[in-house]
């Protein structure tokens, strides 16, 4: 039985034969096994993280969900099942054409260009183009400049921390604090404004933003942590238990002199084992 990841890899290979003449070439680039059976504990989101980072390809999974009552949407809305904000916005130009897939009734459909939808990344909230903090306006394009490290023209009397997510999350999710992607650091005050970023599905110069009021995160941004990625390991996780060292024999003396070698229990199967026979031969 083929999984979604298997089908995705086959599609990437079949549409990029100039880069991967053989399917094995793609597999070796990703350094994962072509076998159907892989670690079942590795979910689709983790697989897509690894594929998008390694190949520098923009892949989006979009779900159709029922809208929240206060969202303003009517019958349904689109929500990210997976996306990689930094690959979309920072690691450009991309090496391969983007792949955008919509999930409907547990089936996968590839979206054709041009794409005119803007999936939600923060549950129960409509993304905005402009926010206000301390009576100062912060616009989405300014947040994008901070992410791309173009900050010489910016000036704010407070620090701005910028977050995102690989899949749709609630405002209270702890996952948000682990996905900090930018920071405007101000020494003018200790105030910190937390902003959540939702990228456009296809355009690398378009984002929308939301204010995060429940995040209590003040760590200094470490840019070198942005592009770290955990390699996918194959097979089930093996836990090694360190067993305590047991002394079975007294190594300070000869094995023959150890008390455990002095006791003897006769074998029921070999009744003569261990019995000493004195053999006398006649002259």
Q: Based on the number of CB atoms within 10 Å of its own CB, is 178 exposed (0-12), middle (13-18) or buried (19 or more)? A: exposed
Q: State the pLDDT at residue 240.
A: 46
Q: What is the pLDDT of residue 70?
A: 57
Is residue 84 domain-resident?
Answer: yes
User: What pLDDT does 264 receive?
Assistant: 58
Task: Tell me which residue of 176, 67, 71, 75 sits closest to 125, measured CA to CA.
Answer: 71
The pLDDT of residue 238: 46
State the residue for tokens 């024999």: 249
Q: Is residue 251 part of a domain?
A: no
Do 9 and 59 have their domain in common? Answer: yes
Domain boundary residue, one of 177, 202, 225: 225
User: From its phi and psi, is residue 15 left (phi > 0), alpha (psi between -120 and 50) or beta?
Assistant: alpha
Residue 27 CB contacts under 8 Å (≥ 6 apart), including other chains: 9, 33, 34
What confidence score (pLDDT) does residue 131 get? 97
Q: What pLDDT was estimated at residue 278?
A: 56
Q: Average pLDDT per run of 10 along the chain, which is 283 residues long? A: 80 95 91 53 81 94 77 73 94 92 89 86 92 96 95 94 94 89 91 96 94 80 61 47 51 59 61 56 54
Query: What tokens does 1 get?
Result: 């039985």
The answer on 63 and 144 residing in a single domain is: no
Are residue 102 and residue 140 in the same domain, yes or no? no
User: Which single residue is written with the structure tokens 């901070």?
Assistant: 146
Q: How many angstroms from the chain centroid is the CA of residue 190?
A: 32
**Are residues 157 and 73 both part of a single domain?**
no
Q: Does residue 265 form part of some domain?
A: no
Average pLDDT over the chain, rounded to whole? 81
Q: Is residue 216 part of a domain?
A: yes
Residue 59 CB neighbour total at 10 angstroms: 21
> Of the candidates 190, 183, 209, 60, which has an alpha carbon nearest to the alpha carbon of residue 126?
209
**Domain around 61:** 4-110
Q: Looking at residue 214, what is its pLDDT?
A: 85
User: How many structural domains compose the chain?
Assistant: 2
Two tokens, residue 114: 């041009």
Last residue of a domain, one of 110, 138, 169: 110
Q: Which residues contact 46 (CB under 8 A, 6 or more apart)?
A: 232
Query: CA dist 206 to 90, 141, 209, 257, 262, Å?
Result: 12, 7, 10, 82, 84
Residue 94 shares a structural domain with residue 147: no
Say what the pTM is.
0.74
Distances (CA, A) of 117 to 34, 102, 236: 34, 11, 38
Q: Does 35 reside within a domain? A: yes
Contacts of 119 (CB under 8 A, 6+ apart): 60, 62, 63, 78, 79, 80, 83, 168, 198, 201
Is there a cis peptide before residue 114, judged by omega within 30 degrees of 0? yes
pLDDT at residue 281, as a whole number: 52
Residues 105 and 165 in one domain: no
**For residue 154, is it within any domain?**
yes
Token reading at 267: 């074998």
């Amino acid at each position: 039985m083929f999984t979604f990841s298997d089908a995705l890899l086959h599609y990437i290979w079949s549409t990029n034969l100039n880069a991967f003449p053989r399917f094995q070439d793609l597999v070796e680039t990703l350094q994962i096994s072509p076998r159907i059976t892989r670690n079942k504990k590795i979910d689709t989101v983790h697989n897509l993280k690894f594929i998008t980072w390694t190949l520098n390809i923009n892949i989006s999974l979009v779900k159709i969900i029922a809208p929240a009552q206060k969202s303003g949407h009517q019958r349904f809305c689109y929500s990210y099942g997976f996306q990689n904000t930094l690959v979309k916005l920072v690691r450009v130009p991309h090496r391969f054409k983007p792949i955008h897939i919509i999930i409907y009734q547990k089936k996968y459909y590839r979206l054709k260009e041009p794409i005119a939808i803007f999936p939600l990344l923060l549950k129960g909230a409509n993304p905005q183009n402009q926010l206000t903090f301390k009576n100062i306006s912060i616009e989405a394009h300014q947040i994008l400049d901070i992410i791309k490290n173009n900050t010489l023209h910016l000036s704010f009397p407070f620090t701005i921390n910028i977050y995102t997510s690989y899949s749709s999350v609630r405002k209270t999710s702890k996952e948000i604090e682990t996905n900090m992607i930018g920071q405007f650091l101000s020494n003018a005050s200790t105030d910190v404004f937390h902003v959540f970023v939702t990228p456009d599905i296809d355009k690398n110069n378009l984002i929308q933003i939301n204010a995060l009021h429940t995040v209590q995160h003040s760590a200094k941004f470490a840019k070198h942590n942005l592009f770290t990625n955990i390699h996918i390991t194959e097979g089930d996780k093996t836990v090694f238990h360190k067993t305590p060292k047991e002394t079975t024999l007294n190594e300070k003396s000869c094995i023959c002199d150890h008390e455990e070698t002095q006791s003897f229990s006769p074998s029921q199967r070999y009744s003569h084992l261990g019995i000493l026979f004195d053999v006398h031969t006649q002259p």
